[in-house]
Amino acid sequence: MNVVIDVGNSRINWASVEQGALVGVGNALHIDSLDRAFETLAHTLPKHVERIMVSNVAGEAFARRLLKLSTDCWSCEPEFVEPVAMQCGVRSAYGHPEQIGSDRWVNVIAAHNVTTGPACVIDAGTSVTFDAVDEGGQHLGGLIFPGLRMMISALDTKTSDISVTEAPTRLPQGISILGKSTDESVGHGVMLALATGLNRAIQLVEGELKADPKVFLTGGDAELFLPLLEKDVDHRKNLILEGLAFMISA
């Protein structure tokens, strides 16, 4: 049995891979509860694991803990994704390919290998990332935005009259997006700013390629963006795991 693991800044996601498909998908918050997250991971995954492929953006300390867990529980070392100039049909836009986050790289590989044309990928998590790839597999580059809570926190800490603000859990449509309280004004304003940047990025890719790219949306905050994106999107909760599954099965 093969296993794929996506380690984000605050959450760890995992799945087993059977004949290229994800099974037994699970997740746990690891921020402030790393021991509990690892315990859940160890008890959820199958007992017999042949290979483990990992995208990790949580740092070296996390990687060392995961390495120990893997060798203790399954007697195999995880294979950490290390972005390179070309992999699985995708050519990196980066002059130094190793500098792109492994999550972004795997997302681009996933998107390119599930569609026949150009694609854009939005990953809405602790940060919000945008990447584009053309029909031939050339990664065009990307954007990194502060995430929803990061932007709200900046207003909370850098202004004197805005107190701690809760992130919105849903957004109204039309002019109702204009807040009727400071909490609403901050939360809705941040979401609108992010969505406007993403919509503009999609338009620029469309204009440059003179094509209609397929837009993939993933990440923990993905559903919040659905009403504000101007194009139809393919919402895939586990896009990184799908990309890892493709890579480990290739």
The pLDDT mean for the chain works out to 91
Q: Which two tokens stand for residue 98?
A: 């190793």
Q: How confident is the model over 109-137, as pLDDT tens digits?
A: 999 999 999 999 999 998 999 999 999 99
- CB distance 86 to 92 below 8 Å: yes
Residue 187 binned pLDDT confidence (cut-offs 50, 70, 90):
confident
Residue 237 pLDDT more than 60?
Answer: yes
Q: Assess whether 103 carries a catalytic annotation.
A: yes
- Annotated catalytic residue within 6, 32, 103, 156: 103
Spatial CB neighbours of 111, under 8 Å, sequence gap ≥ 6:
119, 120, 121, 131, 133, 214, 216, 239, 243
Rounded alpha-carbon distances, angstroms, from residue 122 to 111, 131, 218, 221 = 11, 7, 6, 11
Closest CA to 246 of 71, 105, 49, 59: 105
